[in-house]
Structure formats: C-alpha cells, structure tokens
Amino acid sequence: MNVYRTDEKPIWCPGCGLYGEIGSFVKALEELAIPNYLVSFVTGIGCSARAAGYANVYAVNGTHGESLPIAEGVKLANPELTVIDQGGDGDIWAIGAGHVPHAVRKNLDITLITCDNQVYALTKGQRSPTTAFFEDEEAAGGEPDQPLDPLHDMLAFMSTIKSGFVAQGISTKISHLAELIKKAIIYKGFSYVHVQTPCVTYNDPEWIKFKKEKAVYLEDGKEIILPNGEKIIYDSSDRRMALKITEVPLKERPYYGVIYQEKRRLIN
Amino acid sequence: MRKEITIGAVGAGGDGVIVLGNILQELAGNQGYFGITSRAYGAQIRGGGSSIKTKIDSEHLSLAEDFLDVLICFNWQKYFEFERELRIGEKTIIFCEADPPSSVQSGKFFRVSFGNGQNKNIVALGFLKNMIGLSDPDPRNPSQRILKNNLPSFMAGEKLFQEGNFSKLELERPRNPVPKITIQGNEAVSRAIIDSGCRFGTGYPITPSTEIMEFLRKKLPQLGGQFIQGASENEAIYILYGASLAGKKVVVPTSLPGLSRMMEAIGLFSATEVPLVIIDVQRCGPSTGIPTKTEQADLQTVIYGSGDASRVVLAPFDFESCYQITAQAFNIAEQFQLPVIVLSDQWLGQTVASCNDFTLIKPEIISRLKPGENEKNNYLRYRLSENNISPMASFGDEGFVYQTTGLTHDERGRPASSQYLQQKMHEKIWKKLEPLKQRDDLVKVFGNPEAEIGIITWGSSGMFVRDTVRKMGMEEYIKVCVPELIFPLPEKSIARFLKGVKKSLVVEMNYTGQFYHFLRSRLNLPRKTKLYCRAGGSPFTNEELSQAIEEAIR
Ligand SMILES: Cc1ncc(C[n+]2csc(CCOP(=O)(O)OP(=O)(O)O)c2C)c(N)n1
Ligand code: SF4
Ligand SMILES: [Mg+2]
C-alpha cells in the first residue's frame, strides 16, 4: 500500500478522470518524498473534493466553495506544511471564485488545483462556469452565457501582482500531470494547476476525445505555432507569451504544460 | 454634596463632544470615581451631530439617570437628534451658547460662551470640573496629556465657571479613591482574547465590532501572533477553520450581517469538532438596520442556525463580564471542541466605563486535549469515548495523520452514510456538552434569594434591569437572574431561581421576545410571567423598565 493513499475505495464512477488526477497527486508527493504528516490537502464539495478521503495526509473535505481560505489558514498557522487545495470547476470558479483573487494577492506558498470537467458532476450534470459554449446550442435554445477561462483569468490576477505559477494538465496523462504538480509545489508562492478531468458520466465523449487528441504540449525552448499562424519559441517566464496561450479558447486548442512561472521564485 | 451626577453634552461634528465625554470620565476615574459614558451619533456619516451622556458616581458603577442634571448644549439644532437620550427635566441645568427654541419648556438656562475656537470642548471641561468639584488633573498621567497641551483653554473654562457665579453641584469624595480603569466592553473583550492565549484572529470590518478587530490587528503581531483581514466574512471564518485545525486558538469579531454569512461554517466547525470563538457585537437589525445602535436580536440565529449543529452561546451582561465571559468562551471552545458565540451588543461594546480593574485577575487557561504517545499510528480523530471528547491532533503532528469532513463520518473521520453513525455522531457532539449545563457559576443571581418576584433577563439588559430595581428601592422584593450561559441553558440553575417565585418578568431588547420563547421551550415559567421587550434603537430608560416592573407585579 502506498503511504500517501488511504485504504478507502473511491466512490467515483469507473473510468472517471479523477482516478488519474489523484494518481498524479500521489505520484508527485512520492517523488518529492515529503513526509505525509507535513502535507495538508484541503478540498471543497463535489466529486473532485472527495479525494480528501483518499489521500493519507492531513486532509479536509470542507464546504462547497470555501476550501481556499481553509488552505490559507492552515498555511498561515503552520508554514512548515505543504498545503494543496483542490476543487471542482464549480467549487473554485463559481461559488468559490470570490476567494481566488485574494488568494493570489496573499501569495502564500500554497498550490491550488482545479479539476475541471466543465460540469457540476456531483449534482448530476448542470452547467458550470467553464461549460463550453457552442453556437449551435444557442440555436437549440441553450443558455447563451459564455464560459470563463480559468487560465486566462488566473493569469490576469497574477499579472497585477507580477508573480505566480500557472500550468494546465490532463488527468489521463499521469506522469505529465505529476510533473506539473511537483513543479507547482516546489514553486515558492501561490501556484495554480488546472486539470482537464474527464467526467465519463456527463461529458460528451467527443469532447473528452478532443481534449486528449488536439492538445499541444508546451516546453520551454520548443517552437509552437499558434492558431493564428504565429510561431513562438516558448518561454514560460514571459507573461506576454503566456497570455497568447491563454487567449486561445479551450475548445479551439488545449495547451498542456507550464504556461507561466515567475523566475524569481523558482527553487532548484 | 451629592453622590452622583448625570451630565449630557451635544454639538455638531467639530465641537469635540465625544472627546469632552472621554476626558471628563477619565479625569473622574483617575480620582477614583466610577463612571459610564454612552455616546450617540447622528445619522450622517460625517458632519452629523454627536452627543454623550456621562454618569459619575462616588460609590459604585451605576447607569445614567433618564433626566440630565446638567446639559452642555453647543447646538440646539443637533440637540433634537438626541432628545430621547438627553432628556431635560425641571431640575436640569443647561449651559448653552444660544437661547433655546420655545419648544424646550423645562430646565434652567444659562447663556455661556465657551469660545468659538476649536477648543470649546476643553473650555467646557474646565467649566464642568469646577462645577462638580474634581481635583486638578495629574499631568503625569498619559491619558491627560491632551489637557496638558490645552491648559490655557482648560483654565479659561475653570475661570468661566467661577466668574459666572454659578452654583456648584459638588460630588462627594469617592468612597474608595483607587484610580479606576476606563474601558469599553469591546476593549474588555479584546483584552480577554489576549489573556486567554489566543494569538490568531481574522475579521472583516463591521460596526459595532470594529474596535475589537482593530485591537487584534495591532496587538496580535506584537505578541508573535497573526491577524488577517479577510476579503469577506466567509474568508475570515474559513481561514480560522484552517488555523484551528493546525492547532491555533482562533477568534473573529462580527455583527449580524457578517454572522449570517458565517452560518454554514458554524455547521462545519460543529460537525468536525473544531474549536472557534465568534464575538457577535449585536446591533439593530434585521438586515443593515441601524448599525450604530443597540439591540439583542441575534439570539435565535445563533441558537437555532445551522441545523442540529451543537454550539455554545454566552452573553456577558456588564463590562467585567465581557472580560470573564470571553475568557470562558475560549476555554469552553477548547475543552469541548466546538464553536462558541459570545453575544455582546453595541451598548456594552461602545459604552465607556470607569470601574475597578477587573483585568488584574488573569483567567485560567484551558487548551484542547491532544492525543497521547500511545495513540501514535493508531489514532482515531473521532474515537467514541465515555465523555464524548476525543483528543485532537494538530495538522503537522507526526504519527496522527487523519482526514476530516463535514460529511457524516466514522471514528477515523472518513465519510459514512449509515443511519447508525448519523445518530451516533449527533449523540457525540451533543452529549459532550452535558457537563456545561451544571455550570451554576455562569448564572448570575442578584437580590434577596427569598424574593417572590423574579426577573430573568440577559446580556446588557441585565445591567439596566438591576439598575432600575436598585433605583426603585426594590432589591428586597425583587431578585434578578442573568444567565451568562444561554445555550445550552443551565435549566436546573434557573429552575432553582424560580422556586418560590410567584410573579416573574422577562426583559430583553428585541421585537419578538426571543429569549422569552426560548426559556418557555426549556422550562416551566410561573403562570404569572410577563414579557417586556421592544426593538432596539435606544437603551432602556429607568422609566420604561420601572413601568414594566410595576405592571408585572400588579
Ligand atoms: C452551499 C452549497 N450549495 C450547493 C451545494 C450542492 N453542490 C454540491 S457539489 C456542487 C457542484 C459540484 O461541481 P464541481 O465543483 O464542478 O465539482 P464536480 O462534482 O464536478 O467535481 C453543488 C452545487 C452544496 N453542497 N453546498
Ligand atoms: S459523475 Fe463524473 S466526475 Fe463524478 S465520479 Fe462520475 S465520472 Fe467522475
Ligand atoms: Mg465540475
């Protein structure tokens, strides 16, 4: 048995993307070899938040939307701890969104992970703030509100304090995601990992396939071509370059990797 | 010579009336007098009027009379904003800069010019000092520094009194000339927070609790602690949740609008058994109400809010009680691992009192039970035990890693949804509180224990009721019960108080009689029990309370 896993059997649906997400999280802790009593894992409410019961660290499954300040409180009270906050797209970007700019502003050394399945899964499939908007939906009488883009908004919040770490991964690529989570934990300051987490019950299989197959992987020094044809040699410490990435809507092209990191705070 | 005096002052924003009240009271307090100053502000945020009402007493701490002995009126227009607080009777002596409007029928008037400079409040202070016969201020006393710097104005005031040939209203020497401390309820609460060993606080500004927040902001970092101003009450309370899990004693001051936003969190603290102290300084509601005026309307919210969450509600009734009850709140929160709400109110919080220094006796400090070495590596956070209290490890402790959740959980803290555990965990969080109900020391009883008339009241109303009973000269016939522990209600103790009581009265300042209905749900009140309650907005007067008492006795 893995020291970072409890013996609890997850309640998630078979094939849920959250298995890969917790797998990546545990792998990151293992590779960093942080003693489990020095790790605090705080979650809200939702399918993704149930992960708190499966991680054998000091863990909280709190209330919907309120996990970020709890994580801050733990860190403020005991700075020795590695503190990771995790929530769903509803948890962090709807009901809890008011906490996000203030968490960025405090810039405590904590890591925030959003498990984004573009749906309120636990309550059985309602729209979330990240649910993609397709023009044909409006034609079919769907709600015409535009989704928000957590990566873009997070980068904007971080721009005001000229600091931060932003990455995006997908939970079906465990080793890649584990690397991102590791980097986020190592980063000294507030760090954000956005995880595309397929929900096999409420997501359209085509959409899941798109997020897996159309992805572009970012690496510093590697050339990428943006949808508008612009070629760039990627540099994650360049905020303006990062903005170019986050301006591309998810439904157009998903980018995975470290999108932005402030150099000054990189240890190692 | 007189034992006591009630002085009022009123003016426009720049007249310095509040400063006048504060220094007058400190001056008297330093010389050993007891005193109470309540303030009232006009509705405008800036430029409105302000008033003070100061009671100075040579024998004991007593509340101001309904009718003023003396009024300093800088501005008649502003006076009418505070008519209710500053009542003029036949015997009231009024010193005013302009003749009163004809609507003011009683009182004796003297035209006095306190000068048109910005120091007219200090001139008035010198004037009053001579009138009531206080000794000269002690320039070494730091609180009197403002006088030292404005000595010419102060002396001009003294001279103004002498040369005007006014008659003196001289106070007797204080019976016990030991200097008094001058303190507000909010400060008494703040000091207790520090003296209870709490070093972690959050807040979000809200009248009338803000003084506590500002105190913590300044004091906690000096003591190696932390204060965080949240971006909302939600943030403020959930930061405390994390900090308490990591082992800190935590506190947040607030008032009803903020408290309402914390309700979901109170359920989480309760269900997961995490210590917390909330200081609720009540103000007029509902909704935004009158932020600067007093009321006691939060009782139902804190007793019944958040489902079957166990919690403790305490209510101090005077300044000393603010200090002691706050200290009790931390001890109870730590011992029983739950949220404790202290219900203070605007009157208690922002009224300035000069009294014996009750902060000299430091409270006993109790801290949460931590797991022993024998529990290392087989720790159950919610182990069911005889007294239903399970040791609580702090996040970061080696060998005690656990998971917790607001979902119904098992002994390990893992989610569970059986009816058995749902029942069992309710029993745990409620039965652990049983010993509290035996705390007779948290039910204060005054007056003749044999009296057949009993008044039950709570919070600052307790001070008003006692004061009125004393002024009515009825202490022999009427006894007063003020439970400081409101929830869980120490029923036996109150039943004992009611034994032999033929007629009783419940007094509180809210529209619906919240405490009365709560009492009736818990115990049998005498058949002849009356309720006197009204919405807040101004403190109780002796007149209205004595009427209510007379009606209840009849
Ligand atoms: C205050 C409050 N409002 C509503 C709910 C009901 N609720 C539980 S989870 C959830 C949404 C979950 O969506 P998300 O955060 O995206 O998590 P997911 O289940 O998709 O992982 C809602 C609305 C709640 N538990 N608390
Ligand atoms: S509903 Fe979706 S997110 Fe929730 S467990 Fe099932 S697959 Fe996973
Ligand atoms: Mg979701």
Whether B220 and B249 have beta carbons less than 8 Å apart is answered as no
Gyration radius (Cα) of chain A, Å:
17
Beta carbons of B242 and A72 less than 8 Å apart: yes
Tokens 């200290």 — which residue?
Answer: B327
Average pLDDT, chain A: 94
> Please, what's the largest Cα pairwise distance for chain A?
54
pLDDT at A267: 43
The fraction of chain B above a pLDDT of 90, given in percent, is 92
Whether B98 and B115 have beta carbons less than 8 Å apart is answered as no
pLDDT at A268: 36
Q: For ligand 1, is residue A16 a contact (CB within 6 Å)?
A: no
Among chain A residues, CA nearest to B400 = A37
Out of B235, B264, B399, the one facing A63 most closely (by C-beta) is B264
Pairing of strands B403-405, B108-111: unpaired
Q: For ligand 2, is residue A97 a contact (CB within 6 Å)?
A: no
Neighbours of A167 (CB within 10 A): 27
The span from the CA of B336 to the CA of B311, in Å, is: 9
Does residue A227 have a cis peptide bond before it, meaning omega lies within 30 degrees of 0? no
Q: Which two tokens stand for residue B390?
A: 């399970």
Whether A90 and A147 have beta carbons less than 8 Å apart is answered as no
Whether B306 and B242 have beta carbons less than 8 Å apart is answered as no
Interface with chain A: mutation pick from B405, B408, B410, B411, highest number of A CBs within 10 Å:
B405
Whether B94 and B109 have beta carbons less than 8 Å apart is answered as yes
How many angstroms does the Cα of residue A116 sit away from the middle of ligand 3? 5
Q: For ligand 2, is residue A195 a contact (CB within 6 Å)?
A: no
Q: What is the pLDDT of residues B259-293, one digit of tens each?
A: 999 999 999 999 999 999 999 999 999 999 999 89
- Least reliable range by pLDDT among B43-52, B226-235, B406-415, B526-535: B43-52
The span from the CA of A236 to the CA of A230, in Å, is: 17
Beta carbons of A40 and B240 less than 8 Å apart: no
Q: For ligand 1, is residue A67 a contact (CB within 6 Å)?
A: no
**Torsion, CA B76, CA B78, CA B80, CA B84, rounded to 10:** -120
Q: Is A5 in CB contact (< 8 Å) with chain B?
A: no
Closest-CA distance, A69 to chain B, in angstroms, reads 5
Strand order in the sheet with A82-88: A216-217, A255-261, A165-170, A191-196, A110-116, A82-88, A39-43, A58-61, B403-405
Q: What is the pLDDT of residues B162-199, one digit of tens each?
A: 999 999 999 999 998 999 999 999 999 999 999 999 99
How many angstroms does the Cα of residue A127 sit away from the middle of ligand 1? 11
Q: For ligand 2, is residue A201 a contact (CB within 6 Å)?
A: yes
Q: pLDDT tier at A265 (50, 70, 90 boundaries)?
A: low
B455, containing H or E segment: strand B453-457
Among chain A residues, CA nearest to B249 = A77
In the A/B pair of chains, how many CB contacts fall below 8 A? 131
Closest-CA distance, B325 to chain A, in angstroms, reads 25
Angle of the B263-271 helix axis to the B419-431 helix axis, nearest 10: 100
- Least reliable range by pLDDT among A168-172, B46-50, B331-335: B46-50
Q: Give the environment of ion ligand 3: residues with CB less than 5 A.
A: A 88-89, 117
Residues ≥6 apart with Cβ < 8 Å to A240: none
Whether A115 and A21 have beta carbons less than 8 Å apart is answered as yes
Q: Is the pLDDT of residue B23 over 70?
A: yes
Q: Is the pLDDT of residue B137 over 70?
A: yes
The span from the CA of B244 to the CA of A77, in Å, is: 8
The span from the CA of A129 to the CA of A121, in Å, is: 13
Residue with the smallest CA separation from ligand 2 atom 3 is A199
Q: For ligand 2, is residue A13 a contact (CB within 6 Å)?
A: yes
Q: Is the pLDDT of residue A142 over 70?
A: no
φ, ψ for residue A22, nearest 5 deg: -65, -35
Q: Is the pLDDT of residue B67 over 50?
A: yes
Q: Which amino acid, residue B173?
A: R
Interface with chain B: mutation pick from A58, A85, A91, highest number of B CBs within 10 Å:
A58
How many angstroms does the Cα of residue A131 sit away from the middle of ligand 1? 14
Mapping DSSP to helix (H, G, I), strand (E, B) and coil, where does residue B17 land? Answer: helix
The fraction of chain A above a pLDDT of 90, given in percent, is 89
Q: Which two tokens stand for residue B34?
A: 């007891």
pLDDT at A68: 98
Q: What is the pLDDT of residues B440-464, one digit of tens each?
A: 999 999 999 999 999 999 999 999 9
Interface with chain B: mutation pick from A56, A76, A80, highest number of B CBs within 10 Å:
A76
Mapping DSSP to helix (H, G, I), strand (E, B) and coil, where does residue B228 land? Answer: strand
Q: pLDDT tier at B145 (50, 70, 90 boundaries)?
A: confident
pLDDT at B20: 95
The fraction of chain B above a pLDDT of 70, given in percent, is 99
Strand order in the sheet with B4-11: B108-111, B93-96, B70-73, B4-11, B50-57, B34-41, B352-355, B181-184
Out of B200, B231, B407, the one facing A61 most closely (by C-beta) is B407
pLDDT at A17: 98
Residues ≥6 apart with Cβ < 8 Å to B313: B299, B302, B303, B340, B341, B343, B485, B486, B487
pLDDT at B146: 75
Among chain B residues, CA nearest to A42 = B242
Beta carbons of A62 and B238 less than 8 Å apart: yes
Q: pLDDT tier at A136 (50, 70, 90 boundaries)?
A: low
Q: Which amino acid, residue A105?
A: R
How many angstroms does the Cα of residue A14 sit away from the middle of ligand 2? 8
Identify residues of B whose CB sits under 8 angstroms from chain A CBs.
Answer: 200, 226, 228, 230-232, 234-248, 264-265, 267-268, 272, 394-407, 414-415
How many angstroms does the Cα of residue A132 sit away from the middle of ligand 2? 18
CATH of A18-262, one of 3.40.50.1370, 3.40.50.970, 3.20.10.10, 2.60.40.1180: 3.40.50.970
pLDDT at A140: 61
Q: What is the pLDDT of residues B213-236, one digit of tens each?
A: 999 999 999 999 999 999 999 999
Nearest to B493, CA basis, from B464, B522, B462:
B522
- What is the arithmetic mean of pLDDT over B387-405? 98
pLDDT at A263: 78
pLDDT at A137: 67
How many angstroms does the Cα of residue A113 sit away from the middle of ligand 3? 12
Mapping DSSP to helix (H, G, I), strand (E, B) and coil, where does residue A43 land? Answer: strand
- Least reliable range by pLDDT among A23-32, A196-205, B95-104: B95-104
Average pLDDT, chain B: 96
pLDDT at B41: 82
pLDDT at A146: 85
The span from the CA of B476 to the CA of B473, in Å, is: 8
How many angstroms does the Cα of residue A93 sit away from the middle of ligand 2? 18
The residues in A 45-74 lying below 8 A from B, measured between CB atoms, are: 45, 50, 52-53, 55-63, 66, 68-74
B360, containing H or E segment: none
The span from the CA of B266 to the CA of B487, in Å, is: 15
Beta carbons of B238 and A66 less than 8 Å apart: yes
Tokens 């749906």 — which residue?
Answer: A119
Q: pLDDT tier at B116 (50, 70, 90 boundaries)?
A: confident
Out of B245, B399, B406, the one facing A37 most closely (by C-beta) is B399
Task: DSSP letter for B452, please.
Answer: S
Ligand that comes closest to the CA of residue A124: 2
Whether B238 and B265 have beta carbons less than 8 Å apart is answered as yes
Q: Which two tokens stand for residue A200?
A: 């096999």
Q: Is A26 in CB contact (< 8 Å) with chain B?
A: no
